[in-house]
């Protein structure tokens, strides 16, 4: 029976030393497991860097190649904007190689998809920065090489293509001679004035 003016309450009870020790052990084991997982993720993320870099190189190169024109005429031909067939060109675009004097990063750059075809593995080079940045040149990526092959294709799923009006572009990136990444894309010929 309570005689005090306040309602009767049970006596408050604190943690025993054993309960506190058990809590500390459980939290310690959980923290160790979580830190182990983070350590493993950190180690594995560093090993994926070469793959991600190779994929970025391949994607960038593929974007550069597929952005080039693929018409009936060489882009330098005055008839290129209006030709509806190869016969309307003074210079037809048929060779799977760069025209004389054209290079990827030179004074006369590649101007069509066919120019990028190469049987050689080429070192990855990064373009120079504009002088306003204060950086005159960027180093390449040592050990990385790329190869671009361009070949006519008519085998496109669910698409009917006139012979020689589609090119299969394959970009292969290697690191120290080992294949790391390969992308394929298709470029379809267009006649500019029929769009």
Averaged confidence pLDDT in the chain: 79
Q: Which band of pLDDT confidence, cut at 50, 70 and 90, is reported for residue 105? A: confident
Range from 11-15, 53-57, 140-144 carrying the lowest mean pLDDT: 11-15
Residues in the chain, how many? 195
Task: Give the pair of three-digit tokens for residue 6.
Answer: 């306040």
Q: Find out whether 144 and 54 touch, Cβ atoms under 8 Å.
A: yes
Residue 187: how many CB atoms within 10 A of its CB?
Answer: 21
Q: Which carries the bigger pLDDT value, residue 23 or residue 48?
A: 23
Task: State the average pLDDT over residues 49-62.
Answer: 87
Task: State the average pLDDT over residues 62-88.
Answer: 83
Reply yes or no on whether the pLDDT at 21 is more than 80: yes
Task: State the average pLDDT over residues 25-50.
Answer: 83
pLDDT in tens, 150-177: 988 877 777 777 777 888 899 999 988 8
Q: Which band of pLDDT confidence, cut at 50, 70 and 90, is reported for residue 195? A: very low
Q: Which band of pLDDT confidence, cut at 50, 70 and 90, is reported for residue 4? A: low
Percent of the chain surpassing pLDDT 90: 16
Long-range pairs for 124-131: beta carbons < 8 A, 24 or more residues apart: 124/57, 124/173
**Which pLDDT score, from 0 to 100, does residue 2 have?**
55
Q: Give the whole-angstrom CA distance, residue 84 versus residue 7.
A: 99
Q: Which band of pLDDT confidence, cut at 50, 70 and 90, is reported for residue 192? A: low
Q: pTM score, two decimals?
A: 0.67
Q: Which residues pair with residue 184 across a beta bridge?
A: 170
**Which pLDDT score, from 0 to 100, does residue 157 have?**
74
**Helices marked H in the chain — which ranges?**
17-47, 49-66
Reply yes or no on whether the pLDDT at 81 is more than 90: no
Q: Give the whole-angstrom CA distance, residue 82 versus residue 169.
A: 25
Reply yes or no on whether the pLDDT at 27 is more than 90: yes
**Which pLDDT score, from 0 to 100, does residue 11 have?**
62
């Amino acid at each position: 029976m309570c005689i005090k003016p306040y309602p009767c309450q049970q006596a408050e009870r604190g943690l025993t030393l054993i309960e506190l020790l058990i809590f500390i052990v459980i939290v310690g084991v959980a923290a160790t497991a979580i830190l182990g997982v983070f350590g493993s993720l950190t180690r594995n993320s560093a090993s994926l860097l070469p793959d991600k870099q190779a994929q970025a190189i391949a994607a960038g190169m593929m974007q550069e190649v597929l952005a080039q024109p693929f018409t009936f005429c060489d882009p330098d031909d005055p008839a290129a904007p209006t030709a509806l067939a190869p016969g309307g060109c003074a210079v037809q675009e048929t060779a799977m190689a760069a025209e004389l004097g054209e290079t990827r990063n030179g004074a006369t750059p590649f101007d069509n998809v066919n120019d990028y075809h190469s049987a050689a593995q080429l070192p990855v080079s990064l373009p120079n920065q504009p002088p306003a940045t204060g950086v005159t040149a960027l180093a390449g990526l040592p050990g990385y090489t790329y190869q671009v092959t361009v070949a006519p294709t008519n085998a496109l799923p669910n698409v009917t293509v006139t012979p020689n009006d589609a090119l299969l572009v394959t970009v292969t990136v290697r690191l120290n001679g080992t294949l790391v990444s390969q992308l394929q894309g298709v470029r379809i010929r267009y006649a500019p004035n029929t769009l």
